Amino acid sequence: MRWLPFQLNPDLPPEGISRADYILRKFGEKDSSRYKRVAAVGESLGLDMQFDKIKVQPNTVKAHRLMHHAGELGQQDAMAEALFRAYFVEGANLTDDATLAEYAAQAGLDREEILAYLATDRDADLIQSADVEARQVGISGVPFFIFNRSIGVSGAQEPDVLLQAMEQARQG
C-alpha cells in the first residue's frame, strides 16, 4: 500500500489560514457543527476526533512531502497514522516544521533529519505534480482508493465494496 498526495485545498497559503475563517468561507457558518456526524462515526470506531481543537486549516504540501519522505524510509504508514492523530485528534498545525518533526519522531523518524528536510523544498515539485495528475484523472476528493492501478473507488465505502473492488482488480 502507498499513500499518494492529494490536496483538498491546494490554493491555501503555505502557512494555512484560520480554521474559523475556512469554515466560514466554505460553509457560510461560524462553527464546525457539520463535522459532528464524522466525529460520531469516528467515535464508533474508537477514534476521538476533536475538530474543535483545529485552529489552522493547513496547506498540506509539507505534510505530503513528509509522507513521501517517510515512504522512502519505509515508515509511510506510521507517518500517516501520526499525522492523522496530530490533526484530527490533537488539532496540530500541520504547516509548522517543528510540529511536523515532532510527529515524525513519534513515527520513528529522526527529528533533526526531518527538520533539515523540511527546511528545503525537496520533493515539493513532485508533490505538486502528483496532485495535478490526480485531478487530471478525475480524483476530486478523499478518500480515494486505487487497486492494482486499475480500479478506483471514491469516498468512504463499506468494507464489502472495497473487497469487491480488490477482487475485481486482482482478476483484471
In whole angstroms, how large is the CA radius of gyration of the chain?
17
Mean pLDDT score, 83-104: 97
Helix (H), strand (E), coil (C) string for the chain: CCCCCCCCCCCCCCCCEEHHHHHHHHHCCCCCHHHHHHHHHHHHCCCCCCHHHCCEECCCHHHHHHHHHHHHCCCHHHHHHHHHHHHHHCCCCCCCHHHHHHHHHHCCCCHHHHHHHHCCCCCHHHHHHHHHHHHHCCCCCCCEEEECCCEEEECCCCHHHHHHHHHHHHHC
Same-domain status, 118 and 166: no
108 and 132 inside one domain = yes
What local confidence, expressed as pLDDT, does residue 32 receive?
62
Tell me the one-letter amino acid at 133: E
Residue 2 lies in a domain: no
Do residues 107 and 82 touch, judged by C-beta distance below 8 A?
A: yes
Q: Please indicate, yes or no, whether residues 39 and 121 belong to a single structural domain of this protein.
A: yes
Mean pLDDT of the chain: 93
Work out the percent of the chain whose per-residue pLDDT is above 90: 80
Q: What tens digit of pLDDT does each residue of 27-53 get?
A: 887 766 778 888 888 898 888 999 999
> How many Cα neighbours within 13 Å face the side chain of 123?
18
Write the single-letter amino acid at 137. V
Dump pLDDT digits (tens) for 148-164: 989 999 988 889 999 99
**Bridge partners, 151 (sequence order):** 147
pLDDT at position 27 is: 86
Question: Does 10 fall in a domain?
Answer: no
- 131 and 154 in a single domain? The answer is no
CA distance 48 to 52: 12
Q: Say if 62 falls within a structural domain.
A: yes
Question: Is 166 within a domain?
Answer: yes
CA 76 vs CA 58, 124, 168: distances in Å:
20, 17, 26
pTM for this predicted structure: 0.90
Q: Which domain holds residue 62?
A: 17-139
Determine the average pLDDT of the residues in 131-143. 92
Residues 35 and 90 in one domain: yes
The average pLDDT across 15-32 equals 87
33 shares its domain with 110: yes
